[in-house]
Structure 1
């Protein structure tokens, strides 16, 4: 993840698209559960704008690495 934060597109290290598929598959379910746990049980789902994103972009939003116009940050990382 941190390599992707460097913005080194010439090295293939530029944002969530550069994260490994295994990393995204591993962390996305847990981060999604953390987001859902911040509201009443069964009533706190990901915003529709986030649900339609590619998995790496969705994880990026949950981690505060991706901004979505008109949507506040997920706020999970402090």
Structure 2
């Protein structure tokens, strides 16, 4: 990982008993597995389900995970 934003944000969130969620990833991955979760707006049969996204860029500083800066 080329930045330490996750650690910095987790330190700031610690006072609120909160931290960022990182996914466990198997195989060859050069990034920390930071995952952005979403919420399903409309619920019910036939409605699209919420998805989660694995980030390839740091959402705080914009540095690409596992790549050249």
TM-score (norm 2): 0.31
Q: Which has the higher strand share?
A: 2
Between 1 and 2, higher relative CO (CA 8 Å, sep ≥ 6) is seen in: 2
Q: Which has the higher helix share?
A: 1
TM-score (norm 1): 0.29
